[in-house]
């Protein structure tokens, strides 16, 4: 997927500089991580972290993914 950022720290940095417009979080993402996102559009993914990682084509669980463009969607 074009325009994706993975990792809570990297997403947080990108939000601060305006590079992330939307964050998709797994349904079992820790609430403390979601609370640190600030004022950005948040979408809850129906699956867990393992399923989100698989959806992104990653061989590891992903708690959240930041999207740089609102037109980017998980397909």
Domain residue limits, the chain: 4-67
pLDDT of residue 68: 85
Rounded Cα gap, residues 20 and 38, in angstroms: 11
* Nearest alpha-carbon partner for 23 in 59, 74, 75, 61: 74
Q: Model confidence over 13-46: pLDDT tens digits?
A: 999 999 998 999 999 999 999 999 988 999 999 9
The helix or strand, by DSSP H or E, that contains position 4, with its residue range, turns out to be strand 4-6
pLDDT of residue 64: 97
pLDDT of residue 61: 97
Average pLDDT of the chain, as a whole number: 89
pLDDT of residue 39: 87
Assign domain 4-67 one CATH number from 3.30.1330.30, 3.40.30.10, 2.40.30.10, 3.40.50.1980. 3.30.1330.30
The structure's pTM equals 0.85
């Amino acid at each position: 997927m074009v325009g994706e950022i993975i990792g809570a720290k990297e997403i947080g940095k990108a939000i601060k500089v305006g590079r992330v417009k939307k964050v998709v979080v797994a349904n079992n993402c820790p609430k403390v991580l979601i609370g640190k996102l600030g004022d950005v559009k948040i979408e809850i993914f129906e699956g867990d972290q393992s399923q989100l990682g698989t959806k992104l084509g990653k061989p590891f669980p992903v708690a959240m993914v930041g999207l740089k463009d609102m037109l980017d969607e998980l397909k």
